[in-house]
Chain A
């Protein structure tokens, strides 16, 4: 944690309120975000229990699995989830703009102008916390290889038609969420923790309700409680631990895991009643069927109601978090980074349209290296852009000795006359109270200039608190610097000792050229095997007398992903 971050946390402890870590909003927020609050069933990793989602805070839609162990119900639930989520995700695909780019002809090597489609906007999914992102990744992994009735070989347990597509979208969103600064899928706890510091530990900040407890509630203020109710740590503790007379948390955790006491006292009995009702329906005679069906429906309603009660507080919390974030002005570089998300979305849309197979289970060596390079590049870009967009972010870099801000006290024209024509190499002296790691000869970069401007540290006077820089570039091509390209005495300037652009990543071989050190080219892709594609050996026929498949599917691609 940075020094300023620690200071903000200490101040939050004292004030009992979240303290700002940013003066602007550093993540893109969509006008129409899709909020998704998932819940999982205990005992089986990634088993969905319920999901509440929607783009309208007044109209959340809820899908539940009445019996989480029943694979058919699970896939019915996922089909319902897909029917709600996919139209939203796909709705951004139609509105496109044409962007000019150049492409190298693989044969002649000549560059040709091409027009490429870029979606004008992209979807944005907000989940309560990091565990929610992880859960969606698990769902994506477990559904994208499913066979459906539409496949040539649907297998014994085909999934509903749109479920594999849901898996591919969830995989794309969660993979993109690994890229620093991306905004297609964002956890609310991460968003809040980036912009405000609370007086609790980072671990405690993972609890959305506890994190929000450090932000005064508008409704509490409206109710006439001028102090907004208990503040800070007390409010957070209340959010984490306060229970009602039935032992249930007043503010259920944001999930996706549920409170064990809820599982024990509310969920398990409700599921038990549902199971009993289903058994009764199965055993019912023709004249009892209608009544038994009504009983089943009622147990489902009860379950829905119970799950709605634990989901709604989190649903409201996520929207409250969005309100807080929307109050911040957007950072200057958001549009630029969002364009990366739009390209990512457009690329996935195109891959789906082209009928490409689902994302493989594991990246091959080259793809993994490419993704790592992209993430490192984006991390550098994000750090630089946040510092440029936000004086508070820059202050952290200044405190770390990586940048300095000060007033220009003197500009002395000078020239490099070693070449054929003299080049401007003026000396700029800055008075600063910062203590940068300003070694002589080190490169510095001036921020917020029209063209990039590089300088070299020429002298440091610790006593006077001045640093003299020799400006090397960004002054035009003439003998004298272009007017306005140099700061004037009295002007406040900031120089960074880090570069203001991310370096390009080195080229990597094509996957088919994977070298011997990394196992050579990858074999047939996973999806070919998983889908029973041409390269896969034919499945052995069921031998008479061999154990029959039980209620739980035994086919390899049904069991393996539910690890």
Chain B
């Protein structure tokens, strides 16, 4: 096997920007000016940080400019608030309605714009150019005059049954999402529907494409988020058949520290990540409980040092000091996130975003679609005696390994490669269900093999 990062890949002719622009133009044409008889849906597959949100903003502007009213469906309240914030700042000429549930206030960033109106009833937002809400809220909207156009954001995260409930609201839709991220899930048995094109637990896009085979998904070819150190790995490990590249070249993004390392393994890992974009901070092998206290405290110490060492992130967007809100900690389970949050509070690191800039600590599910300068990841298989389908899921690792603009530090117990070898995937193959490839096992090995080159052992 060739190392996916060092393998030479042919330098394509057009610059990343030009290649991406050409694709975006085609997508906007298909969305805003569809040919007669064109399918009612446009699907855009986007690797991490490939300008999906920018595309959504542009599509919204052009649709409104063409005289359309538009509804936007996102999956979580965080995503909706982000999108409102972005849309309202990038397109101050649009009026944006934020439809929200009666028991959930939208975030302050979303409401600070003069062109944003929030309401719990869709009738109060009838005059807005764009109305944005979660798919859960849209499902309850009763309306006589449906919107003609919709944009469905993070469509691969949306479940098929949610699309079934909201599809009555629009005639045409642009579906954007990242096929490499986590599939939607349910805690109850759904085997009886496996293989049906409309399996309600499927992703919305899978169902849409099965019933509308004439739709050809567009692909965004350039990741603007991932640095040159990460894009080739993430592309090879998680998107082997739809490769993408980074928008920036090697050396375009750097991290510099104002404080010299103190000689600890944590600082060595920070320096390794600052230089190479990746670091694996490895604890001695051991089977542990999920909230492995040692691993949790190492994660917290790493974040503390990231803040203490006065790091500055230099990129094509200029140089900015690495503040707490530009750091994220990713875990597989909620109790792990809670334990890390408690450990960070113990070290005096802010984790409450309502009280100023704070480090985001969350599970992969909740970090989807978000972007940070540096991420610290507690490896999903760290300390585990077994590798279940949950922990092997490709999307989980892909989300955790693709949130950063500069560097990613993975904290793990030693012995994960051996654990993987002892637990080949054993999920039953269902008739009519497309086998997902690469499987999590393969992807985990690819990432581990690369991280091995940036290993810092902690004794």
Contact = CB atoms under 8 A, between A and B. Distances in A.
Q: Do A and B bind each other?
A: yes
Interface string A491-518: 0000000000000001111000111111
A318 to B, nearest CB: 23
Contact of B200 (A369, A440, A507, A519): A369
Interface in B246-288: none
B167 A515 contact: yes
Instruction: Classify the secondary structure of A's interface with B.
Output: loop
Given A180-B188, A379-B187, A517-B207, A506 B200 contact: no
What class of interface size applies to chain A in its complex with B?
20 to 34
A448 interface: no
Most A CB within 10 A of own CB, among B165, B168, B200, B354: B200
Contacts of B204: 517
Given A401-B335, A517-B212, A365 B200 contact: yes
B188 A509 contact: no
Interface stretch (A51-59, A191-199, A370-378): A370-378
Most-contacted residue by chain A among B187, B193, B198, B352 (CB, 10 A): B198
Given A368-B198, A507-B139, A513 B168 contact: yes
B335 A400 contact: yes
A546 interface: no
Task: Categorize the interface residue count of chain B.
Answer: 35 or more
Given A368-B200, A376-B186, A519-B198, A178 B192 contact: yes
Contacts, number: 92
Interface string B121-139: 0000000000000001001
B164 A509 contact: yes
Nearest to B171: A516
Contacts of A441: 354
B406 to A, nearest CB: 29
Given A365-B164, A513-B168, A519 B211 contact: yes
Given A372-B190, A400-B335, A508 B161 contact: yes
Interface string A330-370: 00000000000000000000000000000000111110110
A519 B164 contact: no
A180 B334 CA distance: 23
Contacts of B198: 364-365, 368, 518-519
A517 B41 contact: yes
B91 interface: no
A369 B338 CA distance: 33
Contact of A517 (B139, B164, B335): B164
Given A371-B200, A375-B188, 5 more contacts: A362-B196, A369-B161, A373-B161, A376-B187, A507-B165
Interface of B: 40-41, 136, 139-140, 160-161, 163-165, 167-168, 186-190, 192-193, 196-201, 204, 207-208, 210-212, 289, 334-335, 338, 352, 354
25 contacts: A178-B192, A362-B196, A363-B196, A364-B198, A368-B193, A369-B161, A372-B190, A372-B200, A375-B188, A376-B186, A379-B187, A437-B334, A437-B338, A439-B352, A506-B140, A508-B164, A514-B164, A515-B164, A516-B167, A517-B164, A517-B167, A517-B204, A517-B208, A518-B167, A518-B207
